[in-house]
Structure 1
Amino acid sequence: MRTLILDNGSHAIKAGYSDSDHPILVPNTVTRTKRTKRVYVADLIDKSSDLSGLYYRSPFDRGYLVHWDAELAIWDRLLSDDVLGCRPTDTDLTLTEPVFNFPRIQQSMDEIVFEEYCFRSLIRAPAPKFSALNADVGGRMLTSYLKETVSFRYWDMMDETYIINAVKEKCCFVSQDFYRDLEIARKGRQSILAVDYVLPDFTNTKKGFIRGQDPDTESQMSDIQILPLCNERFAVPEALFHPMDVGLDQGGIHLAVVQAIMACEERLRPVMFSNIILVGGSAHIPGLQERLQAEVQALAPADGATVVVTLPDGPPAENAWRGARAVDIHESQDNDDGKPILREGPTGDWLGTFLGHKGAVWSAMLNADTSRAVTASADYTAKVWNAYTGEELVSLGHEQIVKSADFANDEATLVVTGGRDKMVRLFDIGSPNSPTTVLTHDVAIRSVKWSRHKQLAICAGEGNLIKLVDPRTSSVVKTLDAGSSVTSVSLTHDGKLLSCAAGNRVLAWDMDAFKVAKDVTMSYEVSVAAINPQRTRMVTGGRSDLLIRSCEYESGKELETHKGHHGPVHDACFSPDGEIYATGSEDGTVRLWQTSPGTAYGLWQLRKL
C-alpha cells in the first residue's frame, strides 16, 4: 500500500507519493482555446501550440472547491497511467483543504474520495480553527489585477490569463518603500525599474521573457511585440498589504499575521513571531519576505518580540505537500514501537526484545545458526544484534527508510540492505561506514533477500522487475519480469526456488536455470506467497480479503482457507520441515499454522508490526 499526498491548490495541484522526493505540479484548471474550441484538462494544456486567448474554468471559487464536475475531470487525468498511475483501491489518500472549509464541501469531498474513486482511507489535512484569519488577496487576484491594469494602459490582455500569470511571476516584486519606488518610476521608460516583456509569438517561443535576458530567442523573432512595465511591477503586489487599493475592505496580510498570533496564548506569542513561514505560490515574489518581516515587526508588541520570517527549503508552492508528506512518514514510523521481539518458534514464547530503533521495523532476519539478527527500520538504519543477549552490535546508517535487510554470509559479517533511497548496499560490519553500493534502482526497493545457493542479492522494487545482483562485480546477473507490480518475494530453504506475489499471480523461478517453474493465476489479488521445502504446497495472503489460503503447488487449487488476521498480510514463510507456516499482518500479530490439520498453531501478539 502507498500513500498519495494531494495538495489540491486552486491554481495548481501538487501531488506525489509519500516515498517521492518531490511532487508533480498539474494545473488545476480545464482550459478551452479561443480559436479551435478544443478543451484541455490539467497538464494537457502543454500540448497546445497556441496559448493565446485561453478560457479557464477553475473548480475553485474564492479558495473553495465548488465545481466538482471540473475537478473530477482533472483528478481522472491526474490519477491516470499517463500521470501518476494510481490505483485508488490500493492507495491511502492525504488531501489538503482550505482553512474554514464548509461542512457541505467536506461531505462532498468524502463521498467523491470513497464512492467515486474508492480510496482505502482519507486524511483531510486539519486546519487551525481558532487562531486563523483568511485574507481575500492571493495569487489569482493579483493576476486578475495585473490583467486589468495592463489592458487599460497598453494592450487588451483580459483573455490572456496564462500569459499575464507568467508576466507576474517573472516581472513583479514587492517594494520595500512604495512611495520611493513610485517616485523613481515617474521617470517612465528611463526609470531603472522599467522593463520590456517580450510576448510569445507561439511560433519561435511559447513563453515570454524580459527583453535582453534571452538574446538567442529574441534574434529569431522577426516581429517582436513588447509589453512595457514600470510601476505595475510593484503596484500590483502592493495589494497584498493594502487590499483597499483594489476595493477590498480589509487589512493586509501583515495585519492578518499579527491578529492570528495575538489570538494565541500569551506565552506562545514570542515563539510564533519568531517562526513565521511563507508558503504557497505567491511566496516566490521577490521582496515579500523582507517586507512582511518589516511590517509585522512594526506591529508586534513592544516587549521585545523578535520577528523572523523565513522561506523553507525547496519551492514555496510545494510546502503544503511536503508538510503532508512529513506527517505521513511520521505516521509510518509510529506504526511500530521500534522494538524487534525475539520469540521461540514452536510456542511463540517471548525470549527478548531488541532495544535501539527509533522507528518502525520493516523486516527482521536471523543468520544460519540463529546467533545474530538483522533488522531494517524507518529510522534510516539497519541494525545487527546478538540474538542471545539482545546487544546491538552495529548500526548501519542510511539516507532514507530501510525496508529490508538480510545477512549475506553464514558468519553474519556481511549485510545487504535496500529501501526508499533506491539503492542496494552491502555492508561489512567490521567497517560499517564504508558500504558498497551494489545496485542503484530506478524505484524504491521493497525487499532484498540473499541467495546462499547462488551467492546473489535478490532485489524487488516497486515495479514488475526482480533483479539478481552479484555484489562482487555490482552487476545485474539476471532480471526477472513478473508482469505486474511485485508485492513480496520469498526463497525456499534450500534457496533453489524463488517465489513472488504479483497482482493476482504467484510465480516461482528455478534459481539454477532462471526459468519460470510455476505461474499460477488466482481469483484474487495476492499480497504474499511462500512455498514449502517439499514443493507440494504454497501459502498465499489475500490483498483485500485478508484470508490465508493453503494451495497445491502444482495446480494452485485451494486446500484450506483461514480467517484470523484483521489487517493486510505482509509476510509468510514455512518452517524448515514444512510442517508449520507463519503469517505476519498489519494487525499486529504473527500467526502460526500447522500444514496438516490446518488449525492455528499459535498466536504471537506483538505491540504493533
Structure 2
Amino acid sequence: MAGMAVIVLDNGAYTAKVGLATQDEPQVVPNCIMKAKSERRRAFVGNQIDECRDTSALFYILAFQRGYLLNWDTQKTVWDYIFSKEGIGCTLENRNIVITEPQMNFQSVQEAMLEMLFEEYRVAGMYKTTAADLAAFNYVTDSEERTTMQSLNCIIIDVGYSFTHIVPFVLGRRVLEAIRRIDVGGKALTNHLKELISYRHLNVMDESHVVNQIKEDVCFVAEDFKDAMSVHHCEKRRKEIAVEYVLPDFTTVKRGYIRVPGHPRPDEDQQQMVPLCNERFTVPELLFNPSDIGIPQVGIPEAVADALRSCPWQAHRELLLNILIVGGSAQFPGFLPRLKRDLRALVPDDLEVSLICPEDPVRYAWHGGREVATSPNFDEFIYTRDDYEEFGIHGLQHR
C-alpha cells in the first residue's frame, strides 16, 4: 500500500530480526515460546523473557525443527506478539513484507507461509527470499567499489542455529548446485557444551539458556587445535586458558560471568562455579570437525572448497576474494584466522583468500532486507494479494 512502510522480517530459527524499512535497526526477538519453572502459569513469548525473574531450567517451544518452520501454532503466537503494540508497534495488515526462509525450503512449508501471511495476516504483498540473498544484497550496497548485484561474485557462509550454509553467488545469482549444508550450528554447540559440563562437573542438561550464555562468554576458536590440546601438558598454558565461570543464582547474580582472580565480586564465595578449560575451544571446533560428535560431514573450510569446485572456474578468483560470513556463531574470537588458515591450505596457491565478517553478523541480512525494501524497483519483486487471489500458491513458483 502506498505510503505504508514495508516490514522486514529475517525469520531465523533462534531469533527473528524484525523492523520497519524506515528504521535504522531491527528488534531481535527470540523466535520461540519459553516456560520457566518459577512461573508455571505463564508462557513467555519473544522478549517477554526479560520479565522472568528466574530463567533456570527454561523450557523452549521452538517454531523450527531441524532448521525448517514446522510448528505453525508456535510461529503464529510469536508473530502475533511481534506485530502488536508490545512488539514493533504495528500490524501486518495491508502492508508489504520482506521475509526470509531457509535454503532449499520444502514446498509444503512455502505454501503454508504464503497462506498464513495472506489469509491470517492480510498482507498487501510479500517478497520471499533467503538470508544469504539479503546478505549478498547488503554486501553490494556496502561495497566501496561500483559493484552491482548483476556482477557480484561472492560466497556467503551463514553460520546459523540449526545449520551452516555455504552459498556461492556468480553474477548475482545463487549457484544452486554449489550450495552446501553442514548440520552443525549454534544449537549443536550449546548441546555439546551441556553434555561436557554435565559429564565433568554438574548436571546442566535442562539449562539450555544458561549454557548458551556460557558458550557466548567463554568459547573461542583455536587457530591450531592440536597445539591447543597440549594445554594439559603445560601448567603455564593451562593457567592462561582455564577459567572459573560463576553461575547465576537469579537473586544476586542474574547472568553468569567469568571470575576474575584477585578481584572478587560481593558474595562470590557463596556462588556455584564451573571450572572450564579445553571446553572453551573444543566446542566451537565442531564447526571445523563435525565428526568429533559423530556427524559424518566435513567442516566449513572443506565445504567452501567443495562448493567452489561446483562453480565456473572463471569466477574462482573473485569468489575467494569475497567470502562474507554472517550468523551468530561467526562471532567466536579466532573464527576468522582459523577459517582463513584452513581454507588457504585447500585452494590453489595463486588465488588469494579474503574473509569479511561484518561488525554485526546477526543483523546483517536484515539490513540487506531494508535496502531491498527501499530500492526503487522493489514493487517488481512483490507477490501481491491480487496475484495470490488469481494464481494462489502456484504463481510464486513461476516468478
Q: Same fold by TM-score, threshold 0.5 exceeded?
A: yes
Letter matched to residue 116 of structure 1: E
Offset at 1:261?
A: 2.1
In the alignment, what sits opposite 1:296? 343
Letter matched to residue 86 of structure 2: D
Residue deviations 1:349-393, cap 9 Å, x none?
Answer: xxxxxxxxxxxxxxxxxxxxxxxxxxxxxxxxxxxxxxxxxxxxx
Please provide the CA RMSD for this pair: 2.0
> Identity over the aligned pairs, expressed in percent?
38
In the alignment, what sits opposite 1:107? 111
Cα distance between partner residues in 2 of 1:82 and 1:334: 29
Residue deviations 1:256-277, cap 9 Å, x none?
Answer: 1122222111111110011111
Offset at 1:120?
A: 1.0
In the alignment, what sits opposite 1:88? 92
In the alignment, what sits opposite 1:16? 19
In the alignment, what sits opposite 1:330? 375
Is the counterpart of residue 183 in structure 1 residue 251 in structure 2? no
Cα distance between partner residues in 2 of 1:259 and 1:141: 23
In the alignment, what sits opposite 2:240? 192
Q: Report the structure, 1 or 2, having the larger helix content.
A: 2
Offset at 1:105?
A: 0.5
In the alignment, what sits opposite 1:232? 279
Is the counterpart of residue 55 in structure 1 residue 100 in structure 2? no
Cα distance between partner residues in 1 of 2:319 and 2:22: 30
Cα distance between partner residues in 2 of 1:214 and 1:194: 15
Cα distance between partner residues in 2 of 1:19 and 1:309: 30
The verdict on how the C-alpha distance between 1:9 and 1:213 changes in structure 2, with shifts beyond 3 A counting, is farther
Cα distance between partner residues in 1 of 2:14 and 2:228: 30
Answer whether contact 1:185 1:194 (CA < 8 A) is retained.
no
Letter matched to residue 305 of structure 1: L
What SS class does the counterpart of residue 283 from structure 1 fall into? helix
**Aligned mate of 1:273, from 310, 320, 324:** 320
Cα distance between partner residues in 2 of 1:44 and 1:89: 23
In the alignment, what sits opposite 2:36? 33
Cα distance between partner residues in 2 of 1:215 and 1:161: 28
**Aligned mate of 1:321, from 353, 361, 366:** 366
Cα distance between partner residues in 2 of 1:185 and 1:329: 54
Is the counterpart of residue 118 in structure 1 residue 122 in structure 2? yes
In the alignment, what sits opposite 1:554? none
Offset at 1:191?
A: 2.7
Q: Any stretches of 5+ residues in structure 2 without a counterpart?
A: 134-173, 386-399
Task: Give every structure 1 segment of 4 or more consecutive aligned residues whose post-TM-superposition deviation is greater than 3 Å.
Answer: 185-190, 213-216, 331-335
What SS class does the counterpart of residue 31 from structure 1 fall into? strand
What SS class does the counterpart of residue 266 from structure 2 fall into? helix
Answer whether contact 2:32 2:74 (CA < 8 A) is retained.
yes
Answer whether contact 2:100 2:128 (CA < 8 A) is retained.
yes
Q: Report the structure, 1 or 2, having the larger strand content.
A: 1
In the alignment, what sits opposite 2:332? 285
* Aligned residues between the structures: 333
The verdict on how the C-alpha distance between 1:333 and 1:45 changes in structure 2, with shifts beyond 3 A counting, is closer
In the alignment, what sits opposite 2:164? none
Cα distance between partner residues in 2 of 1:88 and 1:320: 20
**Aligned mate of 1:310, from 335, 353, 356:** 356
Cα distance between partner residues in 2 of 1:78 and 1:220: 39
Higher relative contact order (CA 8 A, sep 6+): 2
Residue deviations 1:103-127, cap 9 Å, x none?
Answer: 1100001011111111111111156
TM-score by length of 1: 0.53
| Map 1:410-425 → 2, pairs under 5 A | none
Offset at 1:329?
A: 2.3
The verdict on how the C-alpha distance between 1:48 and 1:125 changes in structure 2, with shifts beyond 3 A counting, is same
**Aligned mate of 2:301, from 245, 249, 254:** 254
What SS class does the counterpart of residue 40 from structure 1 fall into? strand
Residue deviations 1:44-98, cap 9 Å, x none?
Answer: 1111000101111111111111111111111111111112012212321100111
Q: Any stretches of 5+ residues in structure 1 without a counterpart?
A: 336-543, 545-609
Answer whether contact 2:287 2:299 (CA < 8 A) is retained.
yes
Cα distance between partner residues in 2 of 1:197 and 1:328: 44
Cα distance between partner residues in 2 of 1:245 and 1:190: 22
Letter matched to residue 149 of structure 1: L
Q: Determine which structure has more spread, i.e. the larger CA radius of gyration.
A: 1
Cα distance between partner residues in 1 of 2:373 and 2:352: 32
TM-score by length of 2: 0.80
Answer whether contact 2:231 2:238 (CA < 8 A) is retained.
no
Offset at 1:34?
A: 2.3
What SS class does the counterpart of residue 17 from structure 2 fall into? strand
Residue deviations 1:482-535, cap 9 Å, x none?
Answer: xxxxxxxxxxxxxxxxxxxxxxxxxxxxxxxxxxxxxxxxxxxxxxxxxxxxxx
Answer whether contact 1:3 1:91 (CA < 8 A) is retained.
yes
Offset at 1:222?
A: 5.9
Cα distance between partner residues in 2 of 1:215 and 1:316: 33
The verdict on how the C-alpha distance between 1:112 and 1:276 changes in structure 2, with shifts beyond 3 A counting, is same
Answer whether contact 2:38 2:54 (CA < 8 A) is retained.
no
Cα distance between partner residues in 1 of 2:18 and 2:348: 39
Offset at 1:327?
A: 1.7
The verdict on how the C-alpha distance between 1:190 and 1:133 changes in structure 2, with shifts beyond 3 A counting, is closer
Cα distance between partner residues in 2 of 1:213 and 1:109: 52
In the alignment, what sits opposite 1:98? 102
Offset at 1:213?
A: 8.7
Answer whether contact 1:241 1:251 (CA < 8 A) is retained.
yes
